[in-house]
Amino acid sequence: MKHLPRILAAGLVAATALLAQESGPRHEIGLTLGGLFGPTRELGNARFSPSTGVAFQANYGYRLWGGRVAAVYGEAHLLASPNQTVNTTSVAATRDFASLFVTPGIRVKLRPAGRLSPYAVVGGGYAQFEQSTYLVNGELNPAARRVHRGVFDFGGGVDSKLWRFVGLRAEIRDFYSGSPLYSIAAQSGGQHNIVASGGIVLRFQ
């Protein structure tokens, strides 16, 4: 027991060194482009498989706390996908739809000052799906033009330093949301909307 104070003091010194605040940039803006993949679903007697959509993403992160080993960021994430065609066996289904996700969340980044910094993210917020005005069979779509859902997102990626305040980002996220309106009575439950993307990240004070 006589060595306990020394052990505690050594542990405190080590923890202080690991948790020491970094003086690097507090703000990050990520701009990425990727592909949005929807699942194949069985709804009623029909099968639905959205095509791969183009995903435009913008992310703002603010460092809430940062040490040498890890940093915690609050973030706001925006994803917009202008069109996903619905491949289906039902001619009375929505022909295509657009997606919008707005998800504030938390990002935990390892080795934030390193050349390669892996991170994990989790968040949630708002999803909007905009249905096409026509069905697969060419008739007018009777469904609501827009539908509003909740969404939960999680994923991870890696940032790499490129030049001064500019870096590269590669990322995969899963946006689990309520279903778009496929214009059939049997639609229910949620669906996974997975996006794989890459782009740039800008860091500044």
Q: Specify the 3-state DSSP secondary structure of 7.
A: helix
pLDDT of residue 8: 44
pLDDT of residue 4: 42
Which H helix or E strand runs over 17? Answer: helix 4-18
pLDDT of residue 14: 45
**Please, are residues 105 and 68 in contact by the beta-carbon 8 Å criterion?**
no
pLDDT of residue 96: 93
Confidence label for 90 from pLDDT (cuts 50, 70 and 90) = confident
Average of per-residue pLDDT across 133-143: 90
pTM of the shown model: 0.85
Confidence label for 57 from pLDDT (cuts 50, 70 and 90) = very high
pLDDT above 90: percentage of residues in the chain:
63
Q: Which residues contact 127 (CB under 8 A, 6 or more apart)?
A: 99, 100, 101, 102, 148, 149, 150, 151, 175, 177, 178
pLDDT of residue 22: 53
Q: Specify the 3-state DSSP secondary structure of 9.
A: helix
pLDDT of residue 171: 98
Which two three-digit tokens encode residue 138?
């060419």
- Within 13 Å of residue 71, how many CA atoms lie on the same side as its CB? 26
Is 23-204 assigned to CATH 2.40.160.20?
yes
Does residue 178 carry a pLDDT above 50?
yes
Does residue 17 carry a pLDDT above 70?
no
- Of the candidates 77, 51, 56, which has an alpha carbon nearest to the alpha carbon of residue 180? 51
pLDDT of residue 21: 52
pLDDT above 70: percentage of residues in the chain:
85
pLDDT of residue 124: 97
Distances (CA, A) of 76 to 11, 21, 27, 59, 129: 36, 23, 12, 6, 19
Range 55-58, long-range pairs (CB < 8 A, 24+ positions): 55/79, 55/80, 55/81, 55/195, 55/197, 56/80, 56/81, 57/30, 57/31, 57/32, 57/33, 57/195, 57/197, 57/199, 58/29, 58/30, 58/31
Better-scored residue on pLDDT, 37 or 184: 37
The amino acid occupying position 168 is L
Average of per-residue pLDDT across 44-67: 91
Average of per-residue pLDDT across 17-42: 79
Cα gap 86→181, rounded to integer Å:
11
**Per-chain mean pLDDT for the chain:** 87
